[in-house]
Structure 1
Amino acid sequence: MIQKLQKKLEGKLPGIESWKRMAVKSGKGESIESESLQKYSDWISKDKLNDMRKAAVLIGLFKKNDEWCFSLIRRPMNEKNHPGQIALPGGAREKNENLMNTALREAFEEVGIKPEDVQIIGQLTPIPVPVSEYLIYPFVGVIDYEPEWVINEDEVEELFILRMSELISSDNGYTETWDLRGNKVEVPIFKVMNETVWGATAAVLSELIDIAK
C-alpha cells in the first residue's frame, strides 16, 4: 500500500474534488462551503494563499496487527475554534519553520511520535479552514512501529487508532442533520471508531481515501 500511496502523492492530487463530498450543505441541499472552495480556486491562480496563516498535520502510518493504521485525536472542549472535534495531530507553524517540521513537531508534542522515526512520503493538498483562518498542510509519513504514545492533556482529550481499512469502508455517504451556528444543515461525516469525523479533517481523509483506493 505504501508504495502505491507514495506514487499517488507524487502525482496530481484530487484536492477540491475530494473535499466536495464532505462539504456542509444547507437544508435545501446547496453547499454552504462552495464559496470557500471557489475562493480557494481563485487564490491558487492569484497566489494569495501565502497571505493565510499556516498550520500542518501528520498522518503517521504504522502497522498494528498487520494492518496499516494512523492516529486521530479529540481536541479539548475548551478549545476556541474546534472544541471536542476529532482531528489529526498538528498545529500552527512557528516563525520561519519548515511546514514538514511543523507537522513532526506538533505530532511529537501532542501524542509523542518521535520526528526521527517518521519517513515523510508526501503531502496532500493544503486545505483552507475559514473558521480559524488557517491553511493546513497535511503530511503523510510512515513509522516502522506503533509509537509509544505520550498524550499532552493540554492539547489532546483522547487518542484514537484508526485502521485504513475501516476508513476506506466508512466512505459510504453518511450525512446527518445538525443545527450549526443557528442554521439547519446537512453534514457529511465519517463514522469510525464510534466517533463522528467531519469538517476539514473529513475533507483531508476524503482525499486520502481517493488516492489509497
Structure 2
Amino acid sequence: MGCITQHLKKRKRLHPPHSGNHQHHAHGMGPAGSTYDLRFIDGMVEHHTGALRMSEYVFNIGAPGVGALANSIWNEQAREIKAMRQWRKAWYPDAPVYPVALRPNGDPNSMADLVRMSPDVIAAMRMSGTKPTRDNRVQWFLEGMIEHHGGALQMAHEARQNSTNPTVLRLAREIIVAQRKEIIELRKMLQSGGLNKPDYYKFDGLFAL
C-alpha cells in the first residue's frame, strides 16, 4: 500500500480534503405505490451512472488495489444498470423514455403524477461532485465512493421498506451486502495512507439487513 500512502500524502500537501465536494445524497424516491419500483429504478440507474464516471478517473492507477477496486465497482454497477433497464422495459412499457420522479404531493400510484427527473436531481443522484486532478484523484475516489455507497445504502433500505417486488428487494439486498463490504475496503485503503476520519464511519449504521 506504499503507493497509496504516497498519493495521499502528496494530496494532503496540496489541498485540504476533497470529499466535501461530493454532493451529499438527499433524495429518496418518494412513498410506496404502484410507481415506486419505476422511480427506484430510475434513481438507482442515475446513482450507479455516477459511480461509473467516478471509477473511470482511477482506472489503471498505480496505487495498489485502487484501480482494481474501481474496475470491480464499474463492472458490478454496469451489470446492475443493464438489468434495471431490462426490468423497466418489461414492467413499465408505457413509461416515458426519460428518468422520472414523483411530482411534489403527487399520487404514488399514478403514472400521470410522474415528471421528468430534473438535471439538479440527476446531479444529486450521481453525486460525482467536482472533477479530480491527477494529484488528488486517489483520495477523491476513495472518500467520494464512501459517500456514494452511503447514498446507495440509503436508497436500498428505502426500497426494502417501500417495494413489494421480489426482484427489487433482492437487488436492494445485494446492494447493501456488496457496498458495505466495499466501504470497509475503501476505508482500509485510506487508513493505509494515514487518513482515518469520522466521516468514513457514518454509514456503518446502514450495514445491517
Structure 2 length as normaliser, TM-score?
A: 0.26
* Higher alpha-carbon Rg: 2
Higher relative contact order (CA 8 A, sep 6+): 2
- Specify which structure has the higher proportion of strand: 1
- Specify which structure has the higher proportion of helix: 2
